[in-house]
Amino acid sequence: MHRKAFTLAEVLITLGVIGVVAAITLPSVVQEGQKKAWVSSLKTTKAIIEQAHRQILAESGMEDIFDSGLTFPIDGKRCKINGQIMQGNYWGNYNSCSYNLYMKHLKVVKVRGLKGYYSSEKFNAYSLNDRNTNAKLSIGAQSDGISYILANGAEVYFYFTYGIIDTKSSTNNNGNTVSIVIDVNGNNKKPNTFGRDIFQFYLDKDGHLIAQGSAEYAIKCWDNRNKTEEEALSSTYYWRSASNTSNNGCSSNKNYTGSGRGCTGRVLEEDKMDY
């Protein structure tokens, strides 16, 4: 009785076919896994920062984060970093005050930006569809911003800005706010790209983070403060309505030439990176 078996040629052909299929499908599987990891880390890091802000508000007894001592000292004195007074402007003062609070309420592994007046340190952030466009953000406590590497591996870059979100209050009457850039796997790891591992937020008065490009961002945007909700959502500040050149957009289409900062809103609204 003869038993049928595969010939060596048949085995080799089968292995070859399996190899081709694996070569085609494996990269996409790995990429999808990476996207899910980025989205998960984004949500975790956002929650960590917002929890720190809740603790800062509770400690200060304030309801407005801009009254809590995060941007301006409650006692009216200048904030210091390790005994040193920073430059006498909004940026230097915010970096000093926020440094003391973030070091207390965030699990910080390392701080970047404390080297001097104009630090040579950089926070690299490429545009979504163009690796040749690199928006290097200067990191320096005196005049720019400070970045914090957290225990979960994310790096968060905080800097004071204005005219972005409508956050008028008793101490913040012209729309000043805090810009927050999150690199979910640290800025020392690639791709350092908006919409992939880097995401843009702004700080609201209650301490939560407003995602750039989101519906909330469009509604609370300083430029849309006198518009209806419908008008705001139809503006280019919302990722769904953004033009191909708007930084608030988010598309892997080659026709999209904006930075991809609006991907933050898209990812959090869709709970995935579907582009």
Distance CA 249, CA 264 (A): 10
Which residues have CB under 8 Å from 125's CB, separation 6+?
Answer: 134, 135, 136, 137, 181, 183, 192, 193, 194, 198
Within 13 Å of residue 1, how many CA atoms lie on the same side as its CB?
A: 1
Tokens of 180: 């927050």
Confidence of residue 21 (pLDDT cuts 50, 70, 90): very low
Residue 175: per-residue pLDDT: 63
pLDDT digits over 233-253, tens only? Answer: 999 999 999 999 999 999 999
With CA atoms as reference, report the closest residue to 194 among 242, 140, 254, 124: 124
Residue 115: per-residue pLDDT: 78
Amino acid at 239: W
All structural domains of the chain with their residue ranges: 10-270
Average of per-residue pLDDT values in the chain: 87
Confidence of residue 86 (pLDDT cuts 50, 70, 90): confident
Residue 265: per-residue pLDDT: 98
Tokens of 51: 């929890």
pLDDT digits over 64-83, tens only? Answer: 999 999 988 888 788 889 88
Taking 80 as the threshold, does the pLDDT of residue 135 lie above it? no
Residue 18: per-residue pLDDT: 52
Distance CA 121, CA 75 (A): 32
pLDDT digits over 203-220, tens only? Answer: 999 999 999 999 999 999
Tell me the C-alpha to C-alpha distance, in Å, between residue 231 and each of 44, 182, 213: 32, 29, 15
Residue 170: per-residue pLDDT: 55
